[in-house]
Amino acid sequence: MLSNDDLHEFRQRLEQDLAALEGDAETRKAGTETVELDQTRTGRLSRMDALQGQAMAKATEARALRRMERIRAALRRIDEGTYGDCARCEEPIAVGRLQADPATLVCIACAERSEQR
């Protein structure tokens, strides 16, 4: 069972993470926009580098969006009073698991099950 202090700490960490991700949004977005050729270098290689950089920026952005979604869901669960219970099986999630990642929504058993699928 999570104490109010635990919940308070998790909420703070989640809000900080979310603020940091939101703060970086513009920077990440810039990287996903049209590939600009580096004028100091020429040829195919620099274009490939640029495309690769863009692909990486897109992957980073997708990861960030998924993480923000999880953080928002975790914050919603704190408000609803269901935070700390697995979103699938409703068993309590181990506190150590929440401490490692407060945005964790499912217990270890459910996480392992979904990875196997």
Task: Report the interface residues with Zn ion, using CB under 5 A.
Answer: 86, 88-89, 107, 110
Considering beta carbons, is residue 16 or 82 the nearer one to Zn ion?
A: 82
CB of 1 to Zn ion, least distance (A): 16
Of 117, 110, 72, the closest CA to residue 93 belongs to: 110
Considering beta carbons, is residue 21 or 110 the nearer one to Zn ion?
A: 110
Considering beta carbons, is residue 71 or 86 the nearer one to Zn ion?
A: 86
CB of 113 to Zn ion, least distance (A): 8
CB of 79 to Zn ion, least distance (A): 21
